Structure 1
C-alpha cells in the first residue's frame, strides 16, 4: 500500500479511475448514488483547473483503491460556497475537502487518517488555515440504512472537526434505482489548522 499526493495537472491521469471509484463507493449508504462515468469525469475536471488542488490517492500496487480530494473553496461551485457566503464567511480563506472514497476491504487500516493528513498538509502548503467538508444527512430510520451502519461523526471529531448545522447546502443526485435527481441536505464540518 502507498498513499501519494497529486497536484493540479498531475491529477488528470487519475480522473478515469477516480470516477469509477466514486461510483462504486458512493453507491453504498448513506449516499446511495446512482452515478454515471460521463458525469463523474466532467465533475472531476475541476481539480485540473485549480492550481491549488490536491488528490491524495491510495494504491495497492498500481490499483487505485481510495482517494480524497481538496480545492480552495473559492474554486468550488456556487452551491458549495453559498452557505458560507450567506453566513458572511470569507470563502477565500477556506480549503474545501471534496470526496473521500475508499474500498471497503481497505478500511480500518489508517488510510482515512492519511487522507486527512495529506489534505491538511496541502491546505497549509497553500496558505489556508481553515478546512471544511460536508456530509449528507439522511433521515433517521432511512429504509436503506444497514443495521450495522456507523456514521463517521466520531472519527471526524477526533480529527478536530466540528459540525456546523447552520452551514447547509443541498446537493442533487439520483438515488440507486432512480432516474431523476433529488435534493439531499449536506451539513458542513470545519477545523482550524
Structure 2
C-alpha cells in the first residue's frame, strides 16, 4: 500500500540515503541526464539537513521509499541558488524554496506530484512565506538527447500556480557521456501566495 508522509528535518534524516538513491535514479532521465554518485549526493543533501525549517514529503510502498520531495527557506539554500535573487534585489526571506521532486516511473500519474506541491505549499504557508520558488534545468528544444514525444512539466507547474521567471542559476553535475562535471543552466519558477 502506498502512503505519503510529511517529515520535519529530524524525522527526514533517516531517509537521506533513500533520497540520494532516488535522485540518482530519477535524474538520470531527461532532461537532467545525471551521472550521479552517493558521496556527492550525501554532501549535497547536507544543506537540507542543516536547514532549521526544512520539510520533506516521502512516498512509501510498504517499507520501500519510491518518491520524495523537499523544501526549505531560500535563506538556507546554497549561495548559487540565492545569488540570482540577491542580484535582482529580491528579499531572500520572502521565498520558500522547493527542492527536488523525485518519483519512480511506475508511481507517476496518480496524483502524487500534485500532493508534493500541495503539501510543501501548506508547510510554507504555515511558516508565513509569501512566495514560493524552485528551479528546473533548461534544455534547448533541439538537444540531440531529447526523447521523441517528451512532455515537459511546464504545463503541470503552471497548473500549480507557478510562472517562469527571468532568473536562472548554474549547477554543475556530470552528465551521461561527459568525462567530468560541467555547469548546467536552471530557470526559476515562482508563485505568490494569496493571503
Q: Same fold (TM over 0.5)?
A: yes
User: Are 1:176 and 2:194 matched, yes or no?
Assistant: no
2:55 maps to which residue?
A: 54
- For 1:39 and 1:76, locate their aligned partners in 2 and report how far apart those are by CA, in whole Å: 17
Please report how far the alpha carbon of residue 31 of structure 1 lies from its aligned counterpart in structure 2 after TM superposition.
0.1
1:116 maps to which residue?
A: 117
SS in structure 1 at match of 2:99? strand
Please report how far the alpha carbon of residue 177 of structure 1 lies from its aligned counterpart in structure 2 after TM superposition.
2.9
- For 1:169 and 1:50, locate their aligned partners in 2 and report how far apart those are by CA, in whole Å: 20
Please report how far the alpha carbon of residue 154 of structure 1 lies from its aligned counterpart in structure 2 after TM superposition.
0.4
Q: Given that residues 12 and 45 in structure 1 are in contact (C-alpha distance below 8 angstroms), is that contact kept between their aligned partners in structure 2?
A: no
Question: Which structure 1 segments of 5+ residues have no match?
Answer: none
SS in structure 2 at match of 1:143? coil
- For 2:102 and 2:149, locate their aligned partners in 1 and report how far apart those are by CA, in whole Å: 19
Query: 1:1-193 to 2 correspondence within 5 Å?
Result: 1-164=2-165, 166-193=166-193
Question: Which structure 2 segments of 5+ residues have no match?
Answer: none
Please report how far the alpha carbon of residue 147 of structure 1 lies from its aligned counterpart in structure 2 after TM superposition.
0.6
What are the superposed Cα offsets for residues 119-178 of structure 1, whole Å, 9 maximum, x if unpaired?
1011011121200001101112111111121000000001100100x2010111010132
- For 1:163 and 1:48, locate their aligned partners in 2 and report how far apart those are by CA, in whole Å: 28
Q: Given that residues 11 and 47 in structure 1 are in contact (C-alpha distance below 8 angstroms), is that contact kept between their aligned partners in structure 2?
A: no
Displaced runs of 4 or more, over 2 A:
none
Please report how far the alpha carbon of residue 10 of structure 1 lies from its aligned counterpart in structure 2 after TM superposition.
1.4
TM-score, scaled relative to structure 1 = 0.97
Q: Given that residues 136 and 186 in structure 2 are in contact (C-alpha distance below 8 angstroms), is that contact kept between their aligned partners in structure 1?
A: yes
SS in structure 2 at match of 1:58? strand
Indicate the RMSD between aligned Cα atoms, in angstroms.
0.9
Q: Given that residues 47 and 78 in structure 2 are in contact (C-alpha distance below 8 angstroms), is that contact kept between their aligned partners in structure 1?
A: no
- Tell me the matched-pair count: 192
Please report how far the alpha carbon of residue 66 of structure 1 lies from its aligned counterpart in structure 2 after TM superposition.
0.6
